[in-house]
Amino acid sequence: MAAVSEVLRSDWITTGPKTLEFEQEFTRFVHAPGALALNSCTAALHTALVALGIGPGDEVITTPMTFAASVNVIEHVGARSVLVDVQPDTLNIDPDRIEAVVTAKTRVIIPVHYTGHPADMDPITQIANKQHLAVLEDAAHALPAKYRGRYIGAGNNPVAFSFYATKNLTTAEGGMLTGTQEYLEKARVISLHGMSRDAWKRYDKGGSWFYEVVLPGFKYNMTDIQAAIGLVQLRRLTGFQTRRREIVARYQATFSQIESLECPVERVEVESAWHLYVLRLRPGMLRISRDEFIEELKKRNIGTSVHFIPVHLHPYYRDKYQWKPQDFPVAFENYQRLLSLPLHPGLTDADVRYVIEAVLDVARAFRR
């Protein structure tokens, strides 16, 4: 609140010095070549595709196990969405299935780091290099995740992050796009009306009024008010993550002992951001469905959600591409038995204990 108040009392509230500072600190944190602050992860994904030159006639490969925004942006640029099923353990896109759907029209692979657990990037990158494809990572859940010891976002390929209200780092609404400086220079123009100069450079003391519109861009810039929140959050992120991992450890230790519950995994080569804790109900072990399990938790004052309804089940995509539920069987089967438990640094030890007791109570009461 103090950081926001400082901005409100300053001479600048929209994209300006705080946004630049946030970009620089974020770049250093994830060891990225560069960063561009935007008003959402969706904006980052859309801007990234436009900067890559993706348009009508192109195909973009991604996963059904994601929020619709990951695929909506493909539609926005006029390209064709191509889905690939997920791996049974992480529910991330399955690299072994990617090459089978690559065609002469394929231009980009968008792996989504589901729940904050990094996708298996080495084989994905190898396929992309072999097929001359770009890789755009959807890291909405993946700050501050690591793959083989390196932060997600540290590479040269574009990576989109989310700072939505529920994320590990929030600016209320907001996002970040990382990549090479050359790539981000083009993305920056695209993200602000296609203008050759941003507002700060034009209106700050000594700035020039002159600008040119070099392409039909968008209005995707982040404000200094949001950036001020982001800067404080970024400096607290390590502490936030320590608490998230403490909660996850308690969940894992308890739920791994219950036969009807399947715990999420963390592969040895990654460090998950643990944005979500997704529990799965083992088929045939309980007398109630996933939806009924959620209702029972609600009766016990535990709020849950389902992440996610697979893309191919939504009417727009189902009807446009004529997809059927079993077209992506791993995603579909897991969707029917998963639910996300409360997980955020604000949970007290008593809160965590209450969640655990409620889940155990339901699991035992409805054991088959």
φ, ψ (nearest 5 deg) of residue 298: -60, -40
Task: Report the C-alpha gap between 237 and 144 in whole angstroms.
Answer: 8
Other residues' Cβ atoms within 10 Å of the Cβ of residue 132: 8
* Catalytic-residue membership of 299: no
Q: What does the block give as tokens for 303?
A: 């709020």
Task: Report the C-alpha gap between 349 and 272 in whole angstroms.
Answer: 22
Q: What does the block give as tokens for 330?
A: 């791993």
Which one is catalytic: 105, 130, 146, 167? 167
SS3 of residue 364 by DSSP: helix
SS3 of residue 274 by DSSP: coil
Q: Nearest-CA neighbor of 191 among 48, 32, 69?
A: 48
SS3 of residue 158 by DSSP: coil
Task: Report the C-alpha gap between 59 and 103 in whole angstroms.
Answer: 8
Asked if 135 and 108 count as a contact pair (C-beta separation under 8 A), the reply is yes
Return the axis-axis angle of helices 41-51 and 69-76, rounded to nearest 10°.
40
| Long-range contacts at 290-293 (CB < 8 A, ≥ 24 apart) | 290/336, 290/337, 290/338, 290/339, 292/366, 293/339, 293/362, 293/366
Residues in the chain, overall count: 368
Distance of CA 317 to the CA centre of its chain: 20
H or E element that contains 353: helix 349-365
Per-residue DSSP letter, 4: H
Q: What does the block give as tokens for 342?
A: 């409360």
H or E element that contains 252: helix 224-255
Other residues' Cβ atoms within 10 Å of the Cβ of residue 329: 11
Please name every residue paired with 159 in a beta bridge, in sequence order, or none if there are none.
137, 178
Question: What residues are annotated to the active site?
Answer: 167
